[in-house]
Structure 1
C-alpha cells in the first residue's frame, strides 16, 4: 500500500574525507584488485579499464571520465565523485558506502546486483542505468534526471527522490520499503504494482491516475 514513511528522512550521505591537501595525487595505473586510499584524481579519462575487485577509500574523483571497462565488485567507500562522466562501465555487484556523486552524467551504467548504502546522488543525469537486482539502502537522489532507469527486481529501503524527474522508469518486481517519492515527477514504463511501500503526495496520485487505471484495466467514461 502507499503510505506515510515509518521513520524520519535520513540526511544525505557525506563521505569522510580528509582536507584536500592531505590527499595525494593518484599517479599509478588503475588496475584489477588495486587499493587506492587518501588519493585524488582530476581531469583524467579511464577507457576500457579492467579494475574488478579494486577498492577506493577516502578519495576525491573530480572531472573523471570512465568509458566502458570492467569494474565489477569494486568498492567505493567515503568517496566523492564530482562533475564526472560514467559512460557504460560495468559496475555490477560493486559496493558503495558513504559516497556522493555530485553533478555529472551516468549513461548506460551496469549497476545490477550492486550493494549501495548511504549514497547521495546530487544533480546527476542518469540515462538508461541498470539497477536490476541491486540493493539500495539509505540512498538519496536529489534533483536528478532518471531517464529509462531500470530498478527491476531491486530492493529499495529508505530511499528518497526529492526534486527528481523520472522518464520511462521500470520498477517491475522491485521491493520498496519506506521509499519516499514525494517531490518527484513520475513517469513509469512498468512496475506500478511495485509502488507498494512507497509514499507519494496527492498531486502525484492525480498524475498517476491514468496509468494506474490502465494498469488495472479500468475504463473511464
Structure 2
C-alpha cells in the first residue's frame, strides 16, 4: 500500500519558510523594504466556541469560531490549527504549543502571558490590547501580523522570521530577538529598553518614535532604518559597545561658564537697562 504523501500546500509552505530562514542565516542579499501587514480574512459571521468541543488539543482544527470569555490556560498541544477565529477576553496564559498554526485570526483584550509556542506560525493576524508578558514564540514565523497597545515585556522571539510585522505602541522591554530575522518588521512608538538583538538580521527593520535605551547586540543593527530623533539614545549604546568614551569639550565648557558669568555681571551692572 503506497505511503500517503503530504499535501502540496504544506510542502510549499515548509520550503518557503526554510528557504527564507537559511537565506537570513547566511546574511546574503539585501532584504526588501518592510511593508504593512495584510488584514486577516474574517467571515461575516462566526459560530460560538464551547468547551470541551473546541478545546486546545493536539491535531485539532478549529475554523470560523468565536472564542469569548473562555479559559484556555495551561493547555499543551501539538499541531493544533486555528483558521479565521476570533479570541476576545480569552485566557491562554501558560499554554504550550508545538507546530501550531494561526491563520486569519484576531485577538482582543486577552491574556497570552507566558504562552510558549515553538516552530509555530501566525499568518494574517491582528493582536490588540493583550497581556503578553513572558510570551515565547521561538523558531517560528510571523507574517502579516499587527501588534497594537500590547504588553510584551520579557518576551522571546528567538530564531523567528518576521515578514510584514508591525508593532505599534507596545511595551517590548527586555524582549529577546536573538538570531531572529527582523528584516520585515516595523516598530512605531514602542519601548524597547533592554531588548536583545544579538546576531539578528536587521536589514530593512524600521524604528520610529521608539525608546532605544540599553539595547543589547546593537552591533547587529547594520541595515536598520532609525528615525533621527530616535538615534540619540541609540548612539550612546553603540558607542559603549564599540568602546568609545564620550566626554565634554573642556574649552566648550569653559566658554559656556565664561559666557554665563559675563551675562550675570552685565545684568548686575549699574548701567544695565532691563
TM-score by length of 1: 0.92
- For the pair shown, which has the larger CA radius of gyration, 1 or 2? 2
Aligned position for 1:212: 238
Match of 1:92 among 97, 118, 121: 118
Match of 1:13 in 2: 38
2:211 match: 185
Q: Which residue of 80, 83, 87 corresponds with 1:54?
A: 80
Q: In the comparison of the two structures, how many residue pairs are matched?
A: 214
Q: Quick one: distance in 1 between partners of 2:207 and 2:81?
A: 32
How much has 1:6 moved relative to structure 2?
A: 6.1
**Cα deviation 1:157-207 (Å, max 9, x = unaligned):** 221111111121000110112111122221244110111111112222222
> Structure 2: how far apart are the matches of 1:121 and 1:189?
21
Deviation at 1:133, TM superposition (A): 0.8
For residues 47 and 6 of structure 1, do their structure 2 counterparts lie closer, same or farther at Cα, with a shift above 3 Å needed?
closer
Q: Does 2:51 align with 1:25?
A: no
| Larger relative contact order, structure 1 or 2 (CA cutoff 8 Å, min sep 6) | 1
Distance 2:184 2:93 in 1: 31
Question: TM-score normalised to the size of structure 2?
Answer: 0.74
Q: 2:181 aligns with which of 148, 155, 171?
A: 155
Select the structure that is richer in strand: 1
Rounded to whole Å, the distance in 1 between the matches of 2:110 and 2:193 is 22
**1:171 equivalent in structure 2:** 197
**Greater percentage in helix:** 2
